[in-house]
Amino acid sequence: ETGVTQSPTHLIKTRGQQVTLRCSSQSGHNTVSWYQQALGQGPQFIFQYYREEENGRGNFPPRFSGLQFPNYSSELNVNALELDDSALYLCASSRERAYGETQYFGPGTRLLVL
Amino acid sequence: AQKITQTQPGMFVQEKEAVTLDCTYDTSDPSYGLFWYKQPSSGEMIFLIYQGSYDQQNATEGRYSLNFQKARKSANLVISASQLGDSAMYFCAMREENSGNTPLVFGKGTRLSVIA
């Protein structure tokens, strides 16, 4: 196991609602990245947090937002949920920026939007 | 822009045999890293192996090895002595490494089924 935890494991929401997903990074890691994985696809990068600041963002609308806390845990917030937001949301943690640094993933949160 | 292509949607292999999962990539960055992850049905992405673009030798981790052919832009994963527990989705990923800790770009994956 990686030491990266996510909660909740599963979630069902209706269109238009808001959701918050949580991630605790592995000990010693200060960077958290969030990915969305739709059914049958590879993960797509949403954004990354490094030392509590957003440090890069993929092609996702502003209704996807996040936070990183002083203990390096992180939240992903999605407002105005759409049916296409149904996916597996993965967070990954890693250490200080470095060549060859590996991202270690949590078990994911499965979100279903009805 | 970076791109990863995995052309095998599904593969079957007999238990104890070796199997090669294909991955080709495209990038204009001279410094990059290549990764393979395993995703069982539970959903967690499990890191398997890493190859840096400047590494002279192919990476190996236990039963996993990465066949890195830089001129062909390929980074195939070889699993030796397949086990039933190897049945899962396998994803090839890459990232640019000039500016450190950049996001991973993933392929669509290959589903490996190991047959007893």
What pLDDT was estimated at residue A97? 62
Average pLDDT of every residue of chain B: 94
Q: Is the pLDDT of residue B100 over 80?
A: no
3-state secondary structure of A113: strand
Q: Which of B79, B20, B111 is nearest to A42 (CA)?
A: B111
What's the confidence (pLDDT) of residue A98?
Answer: 63
pLDDT at B1: 81
- The residue among B96, B97, B104, B111 with the most chain A CBs within 10 A of its CB, best to mutate, is B104
Confidence (pLDDT) at A95: 86
Q: How much is the average pLDDT of B106-115?
A: 98
Tell me the chain A residues in contact with residue B34 when contact means C-beta distances shorter than 8 Å: none
List, for chain A, all residue ranges whose pLDDT scores fall below the cut of 50: none
8 Å CB contact of A43 and B99: no
DSSP state of B56: S
Give mean pLDDT, residues B79-108.
Answer: 91
Q: Smallest Cα–Cα separation from B55: which of B70, B77, B36, B73?
A: B70
- Cβ of B104 within 8 Å of Cβ of A43? The answer is yes
Residue among A18, A33, A17, A39 nearest A88 (CA): A39
The tens digit of pLDDT for each residue in B2-26 reads 899 999 999 999 999 999 999 999 9
A90-106 b/e (C-beta count within 10 Å ≥ 16 → b): bbbbbbeeeeebbbbbb
pLDDT at B115: 97
Which residue from B4, B46, B103 is facing A45, i.e. has the nearest CB?
A: B103
Inter-chain contact B97–A99, Cβ cutoff 8 Å?
yes
Q: Is the pLDDT of residue B99 over 70?
A: no
- Cβ contacts of A41 on chain B, cutoff 8 Å: 108-109
Contact A50, A31 (CB under 8 A): yes
* Half-sphere CA count of B5, side-chain side, radius 13 A: 8
The whole-number pLDDT of residue A100 equals 72
- Mean model confidence pLDDT for chain A: 93
Pairing state between β A10-13 and A109-113: parallel
Of A76 and B101, the one with more pLDDT = A76
